[in-house]
Amino acid sequence: MKTVTPPPALGFGPMSRNTVDAIIRLAYSRRLRIMIIASRSQIESPELGGGYVEGWSASALAQYVRARDPDVLLTLCRDHGGPWQHPSDSYEDDDATVMRRALSSIRSDIDAGFGVIHIDTSRERGRQVPFAVALERLVALYEEAQQYADETGHTISFEIGVEQQGREANEPVLFNSQIAEMLGALSAKRLPPPLFVVAQTGTHVRGMANDGQVIDESAPVLQKVRQLSDICSHRGTHLKAHNGDYLDSHLVQQLFAVGVHALNVAPELGVTETRLLLELLQRFNMPTERERFIELVHNSGSWAKWVDGSASALERALVAGHYVFATPEFKQIKHRLGAACDHRGLDLDELLQAQLTQALMKYACAYPDYYEVKSG
């Protein structure tokens, strides 16, 4: 009997170069297959507005990872690919223009060798779109992407979702109905089923915490998640949870135990790196650089996605510091901090990567054993 290798169960966002290096380090130290899940705001082609992580396009990220991943333990994935998923998609843009940009982004991902494409059509000018509209756009992008992959000789898998992340878990009856309609629409076009379906699993990030329903009502939420997983399995796909950040290991284990096949974690990693940077600036008595970093984040406005105006300047910097890592101003600050570390016999990037690896290990320790890649 042929053994089917299951897809990876953990997806980590490439919040920075150090985060990518830490993900690679974890994959090789534990022999784990891991997804690197890149949102359009993080990784994007320059002609589509670029991304905040090193200014990398999909091809640049792929080149960087592949040069360090000889055993191909990492799967490059597009996270939230779709219309109105990049800051350059203006509220004034018409539907056709934004859909063309989304398709162009997906084609770049395919050219770069991304293995999984998440098509998320839940947004429209900052609001949730009706299910029927989201489904129509999903099928259109899915079909175009599959056709392009076939024409260019690439093999891809898909992840689908048509809802923005919320605190509460999906109601199984409605979820079953919507999944049946989505998979039916794809089948009618003779398209392959998706590898993953994203459901609301009671996990949700706000600020520097998970405020999802599963935190306060774990038993009933996990019961629902079990039903959602059964629905996905029955229809030949896998349940994926987003916003796994800041969960404790026990709860992560419980989510896997009730049938969540894959879990995404991203913003927590950006906060982890930022927190240590600010601590080092304070420890080495560099108040000017520390305040300048905090000011850079405030002026970027990127914190508004995570916290409201009542948050302190420090809270804003912690939650959104990673958005400015690639700016020339931050690089000057980091260069001076790196010199201070060198003077003390320390390697700044090594310190940051070690801290990130520790954060990643919380999720790796909850990882089912059978997902490990066995040597030999």
Instruction: Say if CB 139 and CB 185 are below 8 A apart.
Output: yes
pLDDT digits 0-9 by tens, 312-339: 999 999 999 999 999 999 999 999 999 9
Structural domains in the chain, sorted by start: 10-267 (3.20.20.70), 269-355 (no CATH)
* pLDDT in the model for residue 2: 42
Q: How many CB atoms lie within 10 A of CB 225?
A: 28
Residue 91: pLDDT band with limits 50, 70, 90: confident
Mean pLDDT of 280-306: 97
Position 123 pLDDT exceeds 60: yes
Position 376 pLDDT exceeds 80: no
Angle at 29 (CA atoms; ends 23, 30), nearest 5 degrees? 90
Separation between Cα atoms, residue 261 and residue 232, nearest integer Å: 10
Q: Which two tokens stand for residue 220?
A: 């009933």
* pLDDT in the model for residue 133: 95
% of the chain at pLDDT higher than 70: 96
CB contact set of 197 (below 8 Å; sequence gap of 6+): 159, 160, 161, 179, 182, 232, 237, 238, 239, 240
Residue 369: pLDDT band with limits 50, 70, 90: low
Mean pLDDT of 120-140: 93
pLDDT digits 0-9 by tens, 330-366: 999 999 999 999 999 999 999 999 999 999 999 998 8
* pLDDT in the model for residue 366: 85
Residue 253: pLDDT band with limits 50, 70, 90: very high
Position 308 pLDDT exceeds 80: yes
Mean pLDDT of the chain: 94
